[in-house]
Structure formats: structure tokens, C-alpha cells
């Protein structure tokens, strides 16, 4: 279990199966680095996953797949509390309470809500209330910091607003956590369209899955969109495709972009992409090997999740005892 030796940070990722290098570079890699600095609580957000229709037969497997991936990428259960969101019922309890102090207009203004409901005739309430559940995910653990991507900053700002609102109305309860935004690689774009974020919801050539085969990785990088001209240079304004590939190269190889640019002066896109494939394969090989090891030891992984949920529930229940008292709920009779 995580030692109580550092300030708390909390984050999660959806249970959506076979995570991609955008998830790794933009989130999981940062979690692994932060676990030596913070007392980390990291969860798989299965409650968030069902805000859009899921196949119940696949959801559990996808959830476990995400856990295998977390562990394979280097999250250490001795340093980080790893658990499943739905295994800690205090998440939904606090989410409901926060709903009661959140103006409808605040939720309707959320960028992700507008994007996900665009052109939809039937909108599910879960999509609207997603941010209040996310606020509960965070505030339950009173973290000082939350590692988030740029697309989640608005949600964290709402979390901070709700913390202030609750504190003002019911008394000092929650900290206002700060955002930890990764400077480099925070937003990896699609291989087939560098204007859009890498996502599994698009074309299969959009992303490189962490578990993709060697042949698939080479093929996807080979056909990845490039820009006009021949220069291999980081310039998101005029060369968004090559800039995105340079970020991937930099993050997966641990090299500065300027260093990579110098290496490929006078070389072709095809040479660069061939080398990029090798870099990605080299970085993913140990992750895939560890993933397979964890996948063959489901019993041990489930024990990690049981221990993680127990630790998370202990912290979350302490928070909720204070919340219930301040809201005015009647205590259970002894």
C-alpha cells in the first residue's frame, strides 16, 4: 500500500480496453514519475465509462486490462493505491451531494459535454453529470495536486469551484487541488489527422495501441500522415504531423526534440519514420512483456485491487463522515 509519507495526488483513466501511446505519454508515464513524489491514488474509472453505452460482457475485461497496463507501465502498488472506481461507493455518494450544489448552467457549459452531445437528439443525464462525479473522485482524497491533460483542465476548475462553494456553505472541508499539466507530450495527436487528438474511437490507423503487434506498429507509423516539404522540424503551426511524430519520438526515446531534429537533418521522412518505429517498439517491448506476465496472474492482480479499494475506502469514508455531518444527514443509530 502507498505509504503516508507525501502529499496526495489523485487521477484516473477510463476502462476502455487496449490503451494507446497517447494515454501512456499523456497520463500513465506521468503517474509513474509522480509516485516517487506524491502519495498517489490512481483508479480505473468504470463509472465514467458507462456514461456512454458499454457492452456489459466486455466492461469487466476492459477494466482489468487497464489495471494490467498500469502495472506493466510501472505503477507500483507499494507506492500507489490502485483501485477500481466502482469498488469505492463513496465516489457516487459524494458525486450526488455535489450535484445538489452545482448549477445546471455550469454543467451545460462544459466543453466535453457540448462536444459529446453535438448532433445528438437524445442526451443521457450521465454525460451531463460526469463533471460532478469527477469532482467527487478528486475531493474524496483531499489531494494537493491532480495530473490532468489539457482537455481536463476545465473539469478541474469546476472541481475547485465546487470545493469553494461547499466550504463556503458548510464549513472548511475540501482543499482546492492544483493541476499538474505535463509540458511535453500532454496531448498526442492522431496519426491519420494531426489536428485531432489520438483516440480509439476513430479509425484504427488513428492510434498505436500499447499492445499492438510489431507488424501493426510498423504499418501504422509507415502510413502516418506527414506534411508538405521534406524538413524534419518541430513547428506545430506549419508542420503539425511531423511535430506530433517528433513528440512521440522524444517521449518514447527520452531525447530532446532539438537533438532529434539535428539527427535527421537532410534525411527523408521515410528514414525518420522507420527509426521512429524502432524507438516505439523498443519502448513498448518491456511493457508488453510485463502486461503478459500480469495477465497470467489474475489472482495476484485482483488482490492488489482488493487491497487498493480497502485503502481508498478508508480515506474516502473519513472524508464522507465529515461531509455527512456538515450536510446534516442523521447518523446511523447505534
Which active-site residues does the annotation give?
Answer: 116, 197, 200
In degrees and rounded to multiples of 5, residue 209 shows phi and psi of: -75, 145
Tell me the C-alpha distance between 320 and 31, whole Å: 26
- What distance in Å separates the CA atoms of residue 86 and residue 48, rounded to the nearest whole number? 9
CA atoms within 13 A on the CB side of 57: 0
Helical pair 153-170 and 125-139, crossing angle rounded to 10 deg: 70
308: cell is 487498493
Distances (CA, A) of 176 to 148, 161, 202: 15, 8, 35
β-strand partners of 10: 41
Q: How far is CA 236 from CA 54, 232, 243, 253, 257, in A?
A: 35, 12, 6, 20, 13
DSSP secondary structure letters along 94-131:
HHHHHHTTS-HHHHHT-HHHHHHHTT-SS--HHHHHHH
Residue-level length of the chain: 334
Nearest Cα neighbor of 63 from 12, 110, 102, 108 is 12
Amino acid at each position: 500500500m502507498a505509504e503516508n509519507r507525501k502529499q496526495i495526488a489523485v487521477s484516473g483513466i477510463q476502462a476502455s480496453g487496449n490503451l494507446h501511446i497517447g494515454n501512456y505519454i499523456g497520463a500513465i508515464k506521468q503517474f509513474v514519475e509522480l509516485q516517487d513524489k506524491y502519495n498517489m491514488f490512481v483508479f480505473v474509472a468504470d463509472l465514467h465509462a458507462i456514461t456512454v453505452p458499454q457492452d456489459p460482457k466486455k466492461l469487466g475485461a476492459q477494466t482489468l486490462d487497464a489495471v494490467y497496463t498500469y502495472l506493466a507501465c510501472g505503477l507500483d502498488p507499494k507506492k500507489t493505491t490502485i483501485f477500481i472506481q466502482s469498488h469505492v461507493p463513496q465516489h457516487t455518494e459524494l458525486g450526488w451531494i455535489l450535484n445538489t450544489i452545482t448549477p445546471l448552467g455550469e454543467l451545460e457549459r462544459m466543453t466535453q459535454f457540448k462536444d459529446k452531445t453535438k448532433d445528438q437528439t437524445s442526451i443521457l443525464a450521465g454525460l451531463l453529470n460526469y463533471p460532478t462525479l469527477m469532482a467527487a473522485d478528486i475531493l474524496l482524497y483531499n489531494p494537493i495536486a491532480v495530473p490532468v491533460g489539457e482537455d481536463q483542465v476545465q473539469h478541474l476548475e469546476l472541481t475547485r469551484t465546487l470545493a469553494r462553494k461547499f466550504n463556503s456553505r458548510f464549513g472548511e472541508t475540501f482543499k482546492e487541488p492544483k493541476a499538474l499539466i505535463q509540458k511535453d507530450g500532454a496531448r498526442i495527436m492522431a496519426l491519420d489527422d494531426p489536428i485531432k487528438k489520438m483516440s480509439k474511437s476513430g479509425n484504427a490507423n488513428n492510434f498505436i495501441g500499447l499492445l499492438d503487434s510489431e507488424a501493426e506498429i510498423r504499418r501504422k507509423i509507415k502510413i502516418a500522415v506527414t506534411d508538405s516539404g521534406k524538413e524534419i522540424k518541430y513547428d506545430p503551426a506549419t508542420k503539425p504531423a511531423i511535430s506530433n511524430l517528433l513528440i512521440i519520438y522524444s517521449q518514447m526515446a527520452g531525447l530532446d526534440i532539438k537533438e532529434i531534429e539535428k539527427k535527421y537533418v537532410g534525411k527523408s521522412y521515410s528514414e525518420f519514420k522507420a527509426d521512429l518505429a524502432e524507438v516505439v517498439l523498443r519502448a513498448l517491448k518491456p511493457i508488453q512483456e510485463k502486461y503478459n506476465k500480469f495477465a497470467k496472474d489474475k489472482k495476484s492482480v485482483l488482490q492488489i485491487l482488493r487491497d487498493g479499494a480497502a485503502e481508498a475506502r478508508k480515506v474516502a469514508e473519513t472524508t464522507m463522515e465529515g461531509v455527512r455531518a456538515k450536510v446534516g444527514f442523521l447518523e446511523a443509530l447505534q
